[in-house]
Amino acid sequence: MHSSLWLIPPSADNPFNKSIQDLITNTLPSDFPHAPKNNFIPHVTITSDVDPAKTYESKPQEWLDSLTLPEFKRESNEVIVELEELEAGEPFFKKVTLRAKKDDNLIKVAAACRRQGLSISEDEASQWAEKDYLPHLSLFYGDIPQDEVQKKIGLIELQLGFELGSLFDCCGGTLAMGGKLVLVDTGKSIEEWKPIAERECPWVMWRMAKGLV
């Protein structure tokens, strides 16, 4: 029963967060009305497979606060989460995703969290982050054939543009500044995937590639 570390947008009332949450909660479920509805908060997984027994046990906040992260700084050395492509996938948890660019600083965060969350070497963590890590923001979970989802991608692109187009236009592609690194017990059922600890990350910048809107 493992946990995960996620990056999430700044706050529930942030316009970007509200728009993505609306897509997850209302818009995409209406595109696939015959599929069971799975609601979850917007997030980009940094690493999974964190074993509570070997890490935080009964002190999740203390453990999260103790993680050593690279030194980033808002407006000079940010971690950029740039959403660049809408994809229909085969896995349940990647049925509809916004793939994110593998920003160098995002890779550094993933490697640091992987190393400490799984108690592996720095070399192993770096190799994983550079070769295997595939950052993405999921919009829909479901047991639907990939080709069926692919047929709706054009519609979802329009819905995405409707939700995020004005944000993109007003801020030159920047959707939000800031965020949180949160620890989530993903061993529980999806509806119980809620942060059990959180850490402010003012150095995160959320962006969208021009071709998406």
Q: Where are the alpha helices (DSSP H) in the chain?
A: 15-22, 28-31, 60-66, 104-118, 122-127, 146-150, 153-170
Closest alpha carbon to 204 in 103, 53, 116: 103
Identified catalytic residue from 27, 43, 180, 213 = 43
First to last CA, the chain: 38
Give the C-alpha separation, 212 to 157, whole Å: 7
Does the active-site annotation cover 136? yes
By CB atoms closer than 10 A (0-12, 13-18, 19+), residue 48 is middle
- Chain Cα centroid distance, residue 162: 21
Identified catalytic residue from 94, 115, 136, 207 = 136
Does the active-site annotation cover 34? no
Give the C-alpha separation, 30 to 48, whole Å: 29
Catalytically active residues are 43, 136
